[in-house]
Each structure stands twice: as structure tokens, then as C-alpha cells.
Amino acid sequence: MNETGSVEKGKIGVVTVTYNSGPVLEEFLDSLSAQTHRNFVLYVVDNASQDDTLDKTNRRTDMRVVAIANTENLGVAEGNNQGIRAALAAGCECVLLLNNDTVFPADLIAQLFNGLEKCHCDMTTGKMYYYDRPDVYWCAGGRLLKWRGYEAKHDGEGQKDIGQFNQLRRVTYTPTCCLLIRRTVFGRVGLMDGLYFVYFDDVDFLYRCLKNGISLWFLPEAKLWHKVSSLTGHLSDFALRYCSRNRAYFLRKNLPRGVALLWYLLSQLRSALAFLSFQNSESKWRLRRTSAREGWNRIPDKAEKSDF
């Protein structure tokens, strides 16, 4: 809560996690500075950047900014938790998780916030396009596919926008690249699971929301453009390791053991077949295999609950 112990209606805590984000940060900050909804505080959680990220953040006087500087890289999931806790303690009515490798129009926050009342829902998200292909979707809402072990599916990914996603609709998944959340949600499902570090923490959080009946709506009028994998690299060894590890950890943590084991073995089989058919190198196959084993053997962590 804030100093008066009250929640301030309309106040939004915008949480972004930075790590050597200097090359992308200015456009992000400029987009926030132009927002028509002015009642927000930006929480920049920095994971020990070695570049000018914090300098660029601290120079901004055109908005309220709180910088949380970590001395080590705690990962995206725990970084988000630090920002969420700070926003809830300051009496924010909602938390907006927002990647800093994005740009967006001046009405993004207003559209997301107004959508909560319009749709009578707990969370909202919008259209996400590729930054370098501004009329092509990266994600237009999404789904958690139960029949594939709750894999996350981006609707519209790679499709040109021809109006096919111009309707309001309830969805079960969206990346936490842009997700507005009522503060009451955290009291029901907890915060992010820090054991993921990066990747799949959003899948885990949205899975818990789905299981607890928390509603997420896709708003076609809310838009942003994402510099996809600008810092980690989509097919880098880093990304392969954490995606493979965290998928296995998600299965072990959330699904019945027999079901989880089946999906785990199927994923190992797919990886082996990709290697045998020359779709993956031996080094990539070994990395996927060892990382998945690491994830399977992690001790599942209970979601941290919030009193806010």
C-alpha cells in the first residue's frame, strides 16, 4: 500500500526489466512520455547493466520514474516481481508489464485501462506487431493449448494485418511484453515464478490465471511494435537453453506427473528426430537435451502470494 494505506484509482505501475537495454530504451521512454493517461509511475528494474541504461533512465524528468538497480542479473521473472511489489506497495490500482524494446502510440495505456471496465475483466492486452515489419503481427492475443501440454500459441503470428483480428475477444494467453493486470490478480495467483529466470514465466503466470478463472481480453485498438528478441536472439544458444529447460520445468510443476512425463518424452523425441533429419546440429540437439533434463529435475516452486 502507499503511505495512506489506500489504492489510488487509475494509478498504474508500468514495470519494465532492463539489461544492457541502452540501444532500445530511448524510443520506449519517448513512447511513455507521450501517453495521454498520465497517472502512471515507471518502475525500471535493472539487472546490472554495463551500458548507459540507468543513465538514460535517470535523465528523464518528463514522467515519474523509479529505478531499482540490482547488483546482479536476477532474470526477467524476478525483476518483474520487484517492480510489481513496488507498484502494489505504492497503491497502484493496476500493473502494466511492458517490454522496453517496444514503441507504441500515445493512447496505449488509456486503451488498456479503459478496456478493463468495457470488458468487465481482470487483464487486457492488445495487438503486437513486428517493429521491422510494422503491418505484420507478432501476436494478436493467444491461447494455451491443453491438447499440447498447454503450449502457448500466438494468434496471427507472421500474418499481415488485413483486419482479421479487429474484434474484442477473450483469450487465454498473451506474452507479458504488454499485459495490464488488476492488483487483485496477484492476491489470487501470486507473482511470477523466479525460477524461470527468462522465458515461460509468462506461460506459467497465464496458466495459473486460467486455472483460477481470471479473465484476459484482447483489445484490437491497443497497439504496439516489438523489436522481437533484440537482446537475447531468437535462435541463440541462450534462448535454446532457457526455452528447453523452462518448458520441462513448466510441465513438471503444473501437470500431473504421468501427463508431464509423456509431454517431456515427446519433446525429447521431437528434438532427436530433428537432429537425425539434419534439421538441427548435434550441438543444438545436445543443448536441448541437457537443458530439458535440467528443467525436469528442478524442484517446483510454489507461486508467491501477495497480500495486496
Q: Are residues 166 and 253 in the same domain?
A: no
Give yes or no for residue 232 having a pLDDT over 60.
no
Q: Are 94 and 122 in contact (CB under 8 A)?
A: no
Give yes or no for residue 141 having a pLDDT over 80.
yes
Residue 175 lies in a domain: yes
Residue 94 main-chain phi, psi, to 5 deg:
-140, 160
Here the cell at position 101 is 524494446
Q: Does residue 282 or residue 109 have the better pLDDT? A: 109
Q: What is the pLDDT of residue 142?
A: 98
Three-class SS of 71-135: CCCCHHHHHHHHHHHHHHHCCEEEEEEECCCEECCCCHHHHHHHHHHHHCCCEEEEEEEECCEEE
Q: What is the pLDDT of residue 3?
A: 46
Give yes or no for residue 233 having a pLDDT over 70.
no
Instruction: Indicate the SS3 state at residue 306.
Output: coil
Tally of domains in the chain: 2
Q: Are residues 38 and 154 in the same domain?
A: yes
Q: What is the pLDDT of residue 196?
A: 95
Q: Are residues 117 and 209 in the same domain?
A: yes
* CATH code of residue 218: 3.90.550.60
Q: Are residues 151 and 222 in the same domain?
A: yes
Q: Are residues 206 and 285 in the same domain?
A: no
Residue 275: pLDDT band with limits 50, 70, 90: low
Q: Which residues 6+ apart lie within 8 Å of 1 measured at CB?
A: 7, 88, 89, 91, 308
Look up the pTM and report it: 0.92
Here the cell at position 236 is 541463440
Q: Are residues 268 and 127 in the same domain?
A: no
Owning domain of residue 288: 237-296
pLDDT tens sequence across 172-205? 999 999 999 999 999 999 999 999 999 999 999 9
Average pLDDT, the chain: 92
pLDDT tens sequence across 241-266? 999 999 999 999 999 988 989 888 98
Residue 305 lies in a domain: no
Q: Does residue 263 or residue 233 have the better pLDDT? A: 263
Q: State the Cα–Cα distance between residues 27 and 32, nearest whole angstrom.
A: 9
Indicate the length of the chain as a whole number: 308
Residue 231: pLDDT band with limits 50, 70, 90: low
Residue 262 lies in a domain: yes
Q: State the Cα–Cα distance between residues 10 and 135, nearest whole angstrom.
A: 31
Q: Are residues 130 and 275 in the same domain?
A: no
Give yes or no for residue 81 having a pLDDT over 70.
yes
